[in-house]
Amino acid sequence: MRAVVYDRPNEFTLRDVTEPALAPGDVRLRVVASGVCGTDQHIHEGGFGVRFPATPGHEMVGEVVEAHPSVAEPRAGEFVVVDNVLTCGRCDQCQQGRVGLCRNLEAYGLTAQGSVAETIVVAASTCIPIGDLSPEIAVLAEPLACVIHGMDVLQLRPAADVLVVGAGPTGQLLTQTLVRGGASRVVVAAPTEAKLGVARRHGATETVITDRGDFAASYRRLRELAPHGFDVVIDATGASGVLNALLPMVRDGGTMMIYGMASEDVQLTVSPYEIFRRELTIKGSFAQTNCLSRAVSMLRHGVVSADGIITHRFPLEQYADALQALRDPACLKAVVVP
């Protein structure tokens, strides 16, 4: 079968690789679709703990084509999404139920083969059948699962007034989940009007055009909307200029959540006096574990819509173009279809 393989950072080839044998508990999937996200760009550059040789792809939908005799479910012919994060179950974090912070975390598309390939072998226990959900929509299950984990971390108060900064796929899924999850208002701020239009179509109450390099230029408009700030401000950009300009937009007693992935060298400057005096909370949300089935449920019932979010599709041969599309303002979600 063919797969995209990196032997070192920044260089990959599409090549024939030997299909691994099935170990007990494994199934082989024919990859139907594989979403591309910012994490894949970090992997491209050799970051994020990637192990070479590496095949990226962690947002996958597949059809079960073969199961080890030890596997009862899923069965051949079933379409599934995959919980790509593998935890050890032994470390202190796993044993305290904080499995997402496992100290021996492995993941398909990072330390194990990913789905930018024609087939992939995964543990049957990581597969969630999608039933009658279209595989084209199910490819959003992994990023949506990360959003659901974010909601678990956030513990949104009913009727909270929320600002989401960033209208990429993550900002869009966050917005929809916050709207359905009890926020009284979700304001979305981002630089691209077309993306803000998608957010409004899916329930954003207000949108504000911003400049990532000069986020403070948006303060006036945001202050008009929320003179005392927002109960919750979520960064879905990972951009230093945005992150460092958000605290003034948080209402006293409110929460800032760091959801977007910033580079490791980005620093956030905060005044401890301000945190103390204004009783502010800063939360982080990283990846997800055990949230995929809730994501599939939300997509199946139309609570979260994929409409307008998947904008680009590429064959395996064009993986470079799929990565390039991440920088295209016209692109929301790019998907590789082997």
How many residues bind Zn ion (CB under 5 A)? The answer is 7
| Shorter beta-carbon distance to Zn ion: residue 221 or 286 | 286
Cβ 87 to Zn ion shortest distance, Å: 5
Binding status of residue 322 toward Zn ion by CB under 5 A:
no
Using CB under 5 A as the binding rule, the residues of this chain from 79 to 108 that contact Zn ion are 87-88, 91, 94, 102
Alpha carbon dihedral 206, 207, 210, 216, in 10-degree steps, equals: 10
Cβ 42 to Zn ion shortest distance, Å: 10
| Shorter beta-carbon distance to Zn ion: residue 91 or 216 | 91
| Shorter beta-carbon distance to Zn ion: residue 141 or 247 | 141
Alpha carbon dihedral 330, 37, 41, 256, in 10-degree steps, equals: 100
Binding status of residue 22 toward Zn ion by CB under 5 A:
no
Q: Which residue has tokens 């070479």?
A: 52
| Shorter beta-carbon distance to Zn ion: residue 151 or 226 | 151
| Shorter beta-carbon distance to Zn ion: residue 99 or 198 | 99
Cβ 83 to Zn ion shortest distance, Å: 13
Binding status of residue 39 toward Zn ion by CB under 5 A:
yes
Binding status of residue 289 toward Zn ion by CB under 5 A:
no
List residues near Zn ion by CB under 5 A.
37, 39, 87-88, 91, 94, 102
